[in-house]
Amino acid sequence: MSWCLKCNIGYEDHVKKCPSCQGKLVNNPETEKGEDITKLCNVASLQDAHMIKSLLGASNIPVLFKSKGSGEYLQIIAGANYQGFDIYVPVSSLNEAREIMTKADEDIPMEDVENVEADMEAVQLNALDTNVKQRNRLMLYIIFILFIGIPLVSAFIWYIMNMMDNKL
Ligand SMILES: [Zn+2]
């Protein structure tokens, strides 16, 4: 396995130069502390790999990627590396890294996303409901004025006129 320690990306043995920075690749990769590394997981895209790197980097865990096949060039051209990226961490940090990854998953559970969407739908339905209720109330007012208000006013006017007629 050939590694670019500058980019923290590993390539197949036959790759001699880092496709990203043109730097020299070294064999038998070691982290800054000179510890042995072990595979943590595999991710589909370089974006995911960088996300994990920054996530673990916040806890001072060094992260190395290994891209398979044509390396990062394929990733950039095709948008996703067919075989993905293997993520490596120091053996001594493996358990901590796994805990961080598990915790990160819990922080953004898919359930919550669905709940938020369901809430949004409920709010929209409520707004629709309120609109319908307001329209119904307006119709009630119109019906009230047409069938009760107008005859009542007419009857009152007729009554007044009758009174005046009687006086005259
Ligand atoms: Zn490089």
Note the pLDDT of residue 71. 47
Q: Is there a single domain that holds both residue 15 and residue 79? A: yes
Q: Is there a single domain that holds both residue 20 and residue 102? A: yes
For residues 96 and 102, give the distance between their C-alpha atoms in angstroms, rounded to a whole number: 10
End-of-domain residue from the set 91, 108, 125 = 108
Q: Is there a single domain that holds both residue 71 and residue 151? A: no
Note the pLDDT of residue 83. 65
Note the pLDDT of residue 63. 82
105 Cα–ligand 1 center, Å: 30
For residues 67 and 97, give the distance between their C-alpha atoms in angstroms, rounded to a whole number: 20
Q: Is there a single domain that holds both residue 12 and residue 68? A: yes
Q: Is there a single domain that holds both residue 118 and residue 54? A: no
132 Cα–ligand 1 center, Å: 63
pLDDT one-digit tens code per residue, 12-52:
777 778 877 888 888 765 554 566 778 888 887 777 888 88
For residues 101 and 55, give the distance between their C-alpha atoms in angstroms, rounded to a whole number: 8
Q: Is there a single domain that holds both residue 165 and residue 82? A: no
- Return the closest-CA partner of residue 18 out of 93, 96, 72: 72
Considering its fold, how many domains does the chain have in total?
A: 2
Q: How many CB atoms lie within 10 A of CB 166?
A: 7
Note the pLDDT of residue 97. 92
Q: How far is CA 163 from CA 56, 152, 155, 167, in A?
A: 94, 17, 12, 6
pLDDT one-digit tens code per residue, 42-70:
887 777 888 888 888 888 888 887 766 54
Q: Is there a single domain that holds both residue 38 and residue 103? A: yes
End-of-domain residue from the set 76, 108, 140 = 108
Note the pLDDT of residue 103. 83
End-of-domain residue from the set 108, 131, 147 = 108
Q: Is there a single domain that holds both residue 100 and residue 114? A: no
Domain that holds residue 146: 109-168
Q: Is there a single domain that holds both residue 115 and residue 42? A: no
82 Cα–ligand 1 center, Å: 21
For residues 92 and 104, give the distance between their C-alpha atoms in angstroms, rounded to a whole number: 20
For residues 51, 92, 33, 22, the Cα torsion angle rounded to the nearest 10 degrees is -40
Question: Which residue would you say has higher pLDDT here, 135 or 75?
Answer: 135
Note the pLDDT of residue 155. 93
12 Cα–ligand 1 center, Å: 14
Q: Looking at the whole model, is its pTM more than 0.75?
A: no
Question: Which residue would you say has higher pLDDT here, 111 or 160?
Answer: 160
